[in-house]
Amino acid sequence: MASVPPLLVAPVNRRRWWIHLVLISGYLVFIGALGVLRKPSHTPALLHSARGLLLVCGLELLTFGLVFAVACFASQPSRDDLRLRWRGTWQPVLFGVGYSLALRLAVGVAMLLAGVIMLAAGFMTPDALQHFVASHRPGVEALVDIEALRNDRVYFWLTVTVASFVVAGLREELWRAAFLAGLQALWPQRFGSRAGQTGAVFIAAIIFGSAHLSMGVLAAVMAGLLGLGLGFIMVLHRSLWPAVIAHGLFDATTFAMLPWALGHMK
């Protein structure tokens, strides 16, 4: 009997994957730098009206879509490279809901523990910690119009649907999947294993958190912790969809609670 020749694995075109990684990484670095360098303004990023919000969301999606399309045209990733497979029937939705609750609890506990450690170690006094939290709280007013959330139902529902699930959830998890794919393609021995993918998630979380520095130090730390959890979800399920749903629900519930939460902080 003739022997069956081994399957040939196409070599990775490193130049094309370098283009992919530079474009994907550069996109978020540019967005973060733009936010930090942006002059203080009374106009939030999502503007003051439903029409303005849709315009901003459309521009965000168009910009990312072009970068993502060019990056993928260069690297020609597979569905599995980008973790695009929907695995199961309703399981991704159920996982997403559960992970959203777990992430909110985990981020809250992590921030609380950090405060307790700083107090116990003597790095800060209670008054100094309270002042630090008050002066570095997430600058949500730079992102969304709180009064419009309270009084404009169309603006409210567009924020908790389009802005939360599409612009934040889908766009940012596509970015994370593309970033992880680039690292794994260029350095398969380092980032190809489960442990290596965990390391890649940490790198992605640092970049993701840094991109939120324009909203304040605490916002950047919280975004980094959230990115860490979402990356682990993506690696665990080999699919971005549970992370997309968890991310969208996390942001949607945050926006929905903002008017009430800020009202009680005054």
Query: Where does the pLDDT of residue 130 fall: very low under 50, low under 70, confident under 90, or very high at 90 and above?
Result: low
Q: Which one is predicted more confidently, 41 or 246? A: 246
Q: Is 246 exposed, middle or buried (0-12, 13-18, 19+ CB in 10 A)?
A: buried
Helix%, strand%, coil% for the chain, nearest 5: 75, 0, 25
pLDDT per residue as tens digits for the range 203-246: 999 999 998 887 778 888 889 999 999 999 999 999 999 999 99
pLDDT above 80 for 265: no
What is the pTM assigned to this prediction? 0.88
Tens digits of residue pLDDT in 155-175: 999 999 999 999 999 999 999
Q: How far apart are CA 56 and CA 158, in angstroms?
A: 12
- Judged against a pLDDT cut of 90, whether residue 21 lies above it is answered with yes
Question: For the chain, what are the domain ranges?
Answer: 14-76+87-265
> What is the percent of the chain with per-residue pLDDT over 70, rounded to a whole number?
86
Distance CA 68, CA 74 (A): 10
